[in-house]
Amino acid sequence: SSYYGALSCHHSPEKPAAATLDCLLGQLNPAPFKNYGFAPNGHSIGNNYGPIVQDTAVFPKISAYGQNSPMPYQASAEKAYRELFGSALDLKNGGKNEFALQTNLLDFLSKDTKRLASQISQEEREKLDHYLNAFESVRARNDQLVSMQEKIRKNAPELTSQYSSTVFTDRVSTFFDLTAASLITGLTNVISIRADWLSAKYATFGFKNTSVHDIGHNKITDNGLKSAEARDVIRKFQIDQIAKLATQLKAVPEGDGTMLDNTMIIYLSDTGEAHHSRRKEWPFIIVGGRGHKMKTAGRYLRYPKYGQSGHKTIGNLYNTILQASGAPIRDHFGQLDNKLKDLDLRGPLSDLTL
């Protein structure tokens, strides 16, 4: 894996060196949740600390708000449901009653923090301000959620037994269902999904004792599939989830088209073109987003190989996506490759810009 580097274009396998693409897009497209992430598992504490868990917020080392500021993902579909939709629903746990209690607690903590701030030194007050800003940020988000309660109730998916399933494919499928509902409701405009990881085992497809890592090293699966065949099965499952999401978004009218026209779905590996990648090739699939200022629909683009004239990097692609989303024009995105110093890697991809 390239970890944070896949979305930041910085060499940062352990700690993030800069903001990642998804978090930058979240700043450009504000909503109650600027960003939201789903991952089947991850470290329980940021920057690669704590045990690997799959039933709470986790840090899979993919997204970051900035240097040394990793973005948490949610590994529990049930907890994500309560966090995203619970403010407007009558639930046994995490429903609107608990939401109201949380809001009251935030008000109390905010007032108590302000009271304490008036009694301490300037240096200590600056530390306390970080807590106060966090309380007030969550409180402001809660106010937004209250104003959206009718829309949340209308679009909230049914909370079924699949949300507590431990079957890997069920969990990933549920993440995509939550993604569709969250986007349609307007709870967030940017969602990141970690679809699997090296130790994941697709038991649903007969790979009960064969992990993604094993498949990457050409191990035959339990049911006799070769590595390439197993990869095809996994990719089909992931593409099917994307197709389902696209279909749901296409069914929602928005502006002069549909929600899919205004939503860009980006499918990529976190490590380039191979299991042990040299990262000199990096395939992407882009679905939807016709409303963005990019020429992507129905096209296949392949740039010259690494180091050759005309070669471009994923930093150029990210620069293009950011510019199409309203970000200021920048010379380059991320860390430059010294071995490519003789190539012009400035700006967005002219093949995709309108």
Is 162 within 8 Å of 170 (Cβ atoms)? Answer: yes
Question: What DSSP string describes 105-138?
Answer: HHHHHHHHHHHHHTTS-HHHHHHHHHHHHHHHHH
Give the whole-angstrom CA distance, residue 221 versus residue 200. 13
Query: How far is CA 332 from its chain centroid?
Result: 22
Tens-digit pLDDT string for the chain (354 aa): 789 999 999 988 789 999 999 999 999 999 999 999 999 988 887 666 667 788 899 999 999 999 999 999 999 999 999 999 999 998 877 888 888 888 888 788 888 877 887 788 777 777 777 777 888 888 899 999 999 999 999 999 999 999 999 999 999 999 999 999 999 999 999 999 999 988 899 999 999 999 999 999 999 999 999 999 999 999 999 999 999 999 999 999 999 999 999 999 999 998 887 777 778 899 999 999 988 889 998 999 999 999 999 999 999 999 999 999 999 989 999 999 999 999 999 999 999 998
Instruction: Tell me the average pLDDT of the chain.
Output: 91
* Nearest to 211, CA basis, from 40, 22, 34: 40
Q: Supply the pLDDT for residue 276.
A: 75
Q: What is the pLDDT of residues 188-204, one digit of tens each?
A: 999 999 999 888 999 99
Q: Supply the pLDDT for residue 275.
A: 74
Burial environment of residue 82 by CB neighbours within 10 A (0 to 12, 13 to 18, 19 or more): buried
Q: What is the pLDDT of residues 297-315, one digit of tens each?
A: 899 999 999 999 999 999 9
If phi > 0 it is left, if psi is from -120 to 50 it is alpha, else beta; for residue 310 that is: left
Task: Output b/e per residue, 210-240; b: 16+ Cβ within 10 A.
Answer: bbbebbbeebebeeebebeebeebbeebeee
Q: Supply the pLDDT for residue 118.
A: 78
* Nearest to 84, CA basis, from 161, 191, 5, 195: 191
Q: Supply the pLDDT for residue 48.
A: 62
Q: Supply the pLDDT for residue 47.
A: 61
